[in-house]
Structure 1
Amino acid sequence: MSVPPNRQRTIATKRVRINEQIRAPRVRVVDPQGNHGIYDLEDALRMAREQELDLVEIAPSADPPVCKIIDYGKYRYEQQKKEKEQRKKSQTVEMKEIRFGPHTDTHDFEFKTKHARNFLESGNKVRAYVQFRGRNIIYKDHGMDLLRRFIEELSDLAKIDQPPRMEGRRMTTILAPHKKKT
């Protein structure tokens, strides 16, 4: 069973040249002890073979390309480990929505603000909007006051990502959590 071209693993897309696949006539070689120098490709390949290791092209865009004498399997393992660590560290931020009407009552406002506070504390962005239906569109000032009060209530743990503005029959604002100090 073959893998479709658009679903090949990331390792396949970041094709790394090893040994005879390297095309540059001269390369900068870093050996396992950390010594480095510029050599002809044949000399670099011979050095790698003498140590029973591979010549792996690490920085192909450098002039001359940087190659390392290392076991290719070990190199791939380390690269996969680094990618996994980066994926673990990257955090996906979700957008949570809070909906108000132009005549939202005080209790409902406090209840929804409490939910927004929980969303922001868990690192998510919050989109708050006032939905105007029918003739309620004449109460835009009520909607603006509501969103300003909402922003003020959450100002201790959020910053304004997008100030309140009209989008069709909705008045929308987006709040993002402050950066955590770790």
Structure 2
Amino acid sequence: MFCFRVFGLYVFKTSKKEEDVESDGPRLNDKITSETVRLVSEEGHCIVTLKEALRRAKELKHDLVEVQRDAKPPVCKIVDYAHDKYKNDQVGKERAKAKRAEVTIRPEVKEIHFTPKIDAKDLQFEAKQASILMEM
């Protein structure tokens, strides 16, 4: 008598890399993996080591943010990330509010239907409702 056991394992492959799945936003500070980065600042841009860029960001008490991941070397900026994210969220809220205000308001159309077999009492009620609607 033979006993067989078969175990199956489903493997799902995704096209995204693990580092892309980690976070949707830009990489900050220690999450940047490149050895050298192109540091963009008000004075211009230069290519420096990651340690040097992190040191400069720490001196200014800001974050090193990877702006363009696909470039060779990756492009980074020194910014106060929390403040910038707050400002962007506020702009998004203002846009949503403006979009809601742009929606045109249609006038309400009220209808009253009379049938041939309406009772006198119901006819008086409908007439009263019609006069109330016309006063609005």
TM score, norm. by length of structure 1: 0.38
Q: Which has the higher strand share?
A: 1
Structure of larger gyration radius: 2
TM score, norm. by length of structure 2: 0.48
